[in-house]
Structure 1
């Protein structure tokens, strides 16, 4: 076991429990778009501000968006969440579409990032090296590329015969053999 966990901030989950059961509360509180008016690396950020920022703010009225022009510095997206966490993304030479994707990702996150060690109610001295099991662990990876609705996936799988069906076939086979032997005699 490594000592990496010693440098992480221990805390409990502070997001509202069951977020989305009654109504969903977006955890992203504030976004600050920092950019340079002249720097070539900020071109994608400036294009996003000119063309897509109004639509983004209309689609997400619960998130406050600030614009902060700075001289001779690269573009940065700073996000602040309801639980007090802050996250910064340095987006030098990003396109307008990439900026929109990053903002959408920040919008859907809860603010808890990888630098947080979440406490659990159980402990083991020998943790599993295989990782946690999920329902998708042993799924066929070709299902990731399947187009739905899919005729092949909607038909029932051809299951092997059960033991009862096998015994019934053997019984019918013996019965037919016995009937043929009696016919020959």
Structure 2
């Protein structure tokens, strides 16, 4: 067992703003595209900005897009989400299509999911006041004191025969004839 989880932020899973109830709220608040105007490693980012950025901004009015040219730096995308998380993606030597895929992936995410160690695997906004369900929840309390195997709980003999028993009888009748 590794101890890598000790350095991760610990949290309970949280449904973002009850998303999906009523209307969908996109979780990416803003995206910043940082690139160099001259460097060759920024060519894909520049092509994306020239050809696809306007369409992305029109299709996602709830997301603010910042374009930040920087000299002699590697192209980077920084996505900021409504829950306060930030995700940073290095786009060095990526093509226009790869950057388009990254932008769409960041748009559909909730934030960086790998940076949180979950304490529970489930979440509910309305926890039960009855407590957790167990296999013994709806059992009659008399069964707690019974000794097993118990003949009272066994299948009565006057019940119809099972399908397997019927097939065996039919096979025996065919052998006799």
Q: TM-score, normalised by structure 1?
A: 0.66
1:137 match: none
Structure 1 stretches lacking a partner, 5+ long = 123-161, 179-185
CA deviation digits over 1:127-173, x for unaligned, max 9? xxxxxxxxxxxxxxxxxxxxxxxxxxxxxxxxxxx736743651562
For 1:136-175, what aligned pairs fall within 5 Å after superposition?
163=164, 166-167=167-168, 170-171=171-172, 173-174=174-175
CA deviation digits over 1:30-89, x for unaligned, max 9? 000000110101111010111111111111111111000000111000000001101110
For 1:18-29, what aligned pairs fall within 5 Å after superposition?
18-29=18-29
Tell me if structure 1 keeps the 8 A contact 2:13–2:121: no
Q: CA RMSD in A?
A: 2.3
Q: In the alignment, does 2:13 pair up with 1:13?
A: yes
Structure 2 stretches lacking a partner, 5+ long = 123-162
Q: TM-score, normalised by structure 2?
A: 0.69
The 1:80–1:15 alpha-carbon spacing in structure 2 relative to 1, beyond 3 Å, is: farther
Tell me if structure 1 keeps the 8 A contact 2:86–2:112: no
2:58 match: 58
Instruction: Specify the SS of the correspondent of 2:89.
Output: strand
The 1:80–1:165 alpha-carbon spacing in structure 2 relative to 1, beyond 3 Å, is: farther
For residues 104 and 117 of structure 1, the distance between their equivalents in structure 2, rounded to whole angstroms, comes to 25
